[in-house]
Amino acid sequence: MNSELPDRRLAQEIIDCMGESGQPPEHGLEFVTVGLDSFLEIIEHEYLGRLLGEAGGSAFRLVEGSYGAGKTHFLRCVRSIAQRLGFLTCSVDLSPAECPYEDAVRVYRAAYNLVSYRFSSPPTDTMKNSGSKSHPETESVGENHDCARDTVPSIQPEILQGFTNILRYSVQGKLPFPPLKSLEDVPVENFTFRLVCQRFMDICRQGGREDEELVLEHWLGGSASYERGILRQFGIYDDIASDNAMPILRSMVSILTALGFPGVIFLFDEVDRQSCSASVKHLQAIGDTLRQLIDLCASSRLPRVMFFYAAPPEFMRLDVASYPALQQRLARPLNMSRSSPQSVVINLEEAMQSDGSFFRELGRRLAKAAVVAWDWQDFDAELLETNLGFFVNFMLDHVFTGGYRSFVKFWIAILYRFHSDGQRRLTEDDLSSLLL
C-alpha cells in the first residue's frame, strides 16, 4: 500500500473522518492501510484475477475481527481493488434494527440500491447527465429501503450506482461493452425478475413511456407502491417477498454479469449485532442463507461473484457453533495466508502484531497525513517517534479495547493537541487523563 503523502484535501478528509469516528475514509485508504498487504494480494490475484476473472468461478469469505479491529477498513480496501479491476461492488451495512441479514427483502433492497460501478475515467458530460431520470427509487432511497436509508447515490461523477441505473446505461451504450439486447438466454433462478428486467430495458430503449418505466422500476426495487394493472399487461403477477428475495438477488447478479461486467463483489458488514437476544429462528435463517451462498459458490452455480461477510469472533464461537451444517463449511485448520490462500476465514487480528509494530506504522502514516492536512510547520519527527512508541506501549499495556478504532481516535486527538499547543514529551499522567 502507498505510504507517500496525500494532497492536502485528501489528507484533511483522512484526518477528519478517522479522528471523528475511527472509521476509514472513503478516499485515500492507500495512505493509511497497514498489515493487510498479504490478504489483499491473495484476494486480488487468486480470487478477483484467477478464480472470478479467468475461471468464471465464485467464492465466499468470512472476515473475522473484534469491533474496532478494522473490518470496515479491510472491506473498503477490497472494494477499491475490485473497482480498479472493473468489478461491480455492493457494500451493505447489516444491523438487527436497520438491515438484519435474515430479512432477505431488506437485504435485496439494499443491494439493488447500492450496487455500483466506478468508471476507469470520469464519464463525459453526456454520460453524467443521462444516466438516471428523477425516479424516487434511483435518485434517493425511499422509506422502504431500510438497509440503505441514509445512503444516496454517490455524488462522484465517475460512480454509477443502482441496479436500474446500470440497466439504463447499458441500453444507452454508455458502459464499456456492447449493449445486450435480449436477456432470454441469461440463466436465472427467478424468471419473473428476468422478464421485468427485459421489459424495463425495452421501454428505456423505446422511450416515451415513463409511467410504465416507473412501475417496473418500483417492482425491481422491491417497493409495494405500483400500479398492478400495468404489471398485469406485461404478465407480471408476483411480488418480491421473503420467499423469493434471495433467488432474485442471485438473478440480479446473473443479469449484471451478462451485461459484460467481470463480476460482482458483495461486502456485508455487521456494524451492530445482538446475538444474545436473537431468536433461534433468526439465527437459523442467517445460517441457512450463508450455507446456501457457500454451497452455490462451491458448485459454480452462481458464477463471477464473491461474497465477503464481516463479523466479530463471537459469530464463529456462538452462532456458527449452534448450526453444525454451517460450522462444517466454515471450519478451517488455518486462516487465510500466502501458504493457505483457499481458507474461508480471514482473521484480521493476525494483522495486528503483538509487538505493536502495526500501530507504530499506522501512527506514522496518520502523522504524515496530519502534517499535510494542517500545514504543520514546526513538526518534530524525532519527538513524534518517541511519543508514538510510548503511546503504543501504554495502549497495549493498559487500555486496549476496540483495537484499530480506539488507537486511531486517541492518536489523532494527541496529534491535534500537539499541533495546537506544541509538541512535548508525553507522560503517563497525560495518557491516563486522556484514556482512563
Whole-angstrom CA distances from 251 to 12, 95, 193, 246 are 41, 24, 7, 8
Per-residue pLDDT for 132 more than 90? Answer: no
Confirm if 360 and 370 have CB atoms less than 8 A apart: no
Whole-angstrom CA distances from 384 to 16, 353, 371 are 20, 21, 11
Burial class (CB in 10 A: 0-12, 13-18, 19+), 206: exposed
Q: How far is Cα 11 from Cα 374, in angstroms, rounded to an integer?
A: 9
Confidence of residue 128 (pLDDT cuts 50, 70, 90): very low
Whole-angstrom CA distances from 92 to 23, 79, 112, 247 are 15, 12, 10, 18
Q: How far is Cα 21 from Cα 11, in angstroms, rounded to an integer?
A: 16
How large is the angle between the packed helices 428-435 and 403-421, nearest 10 degrees?
120
Give Cβ neighbours of residue 129 (< 8 Å, ≥ 6 apart): none
Using a pLDDT cut of 70, give the percent of the chain over it: 85
pLDDT digits (tens, 9 = 90+) for 82-117: 999 999 999 998 887 777 777 889 999 999 999 999
Per-residue pLDDT for 400 more than 80? Answer: no
Burial class (CB in 10 A: 0-12, 13-18, 19+), 346: buried
Burial class (CB in 10 A: 0-12, 13-18, 19+), 314: middle
Task: Extract the C-alpha cell encoding 259.
Answer: 451485461
Please report the beta strands in 278-424, taking only residues with DSSP state E, as ranges in sequence order: 305-311, 345-347
What pLDDT does 3 receive?
53
Give Cβ neighbours of residue 399 (< 8 Å, ≥ 6 apart): 406, 435, 436
Question: Among 125-134, 154-163, 303-312, which stretch is predicted with the lowest mean pLDDT?
Answer: 125-134
* Matching residue, cell 502534517: 371
Averaged pLDDT of the chain: 83
Whole-angstrom CA distances from 377 to 61, 281, 320, 374, 424 are 45, 59, 52, 9, 15
Alpha-carbon torsion angle 164, 169, 170, 171, nearest 10: 90
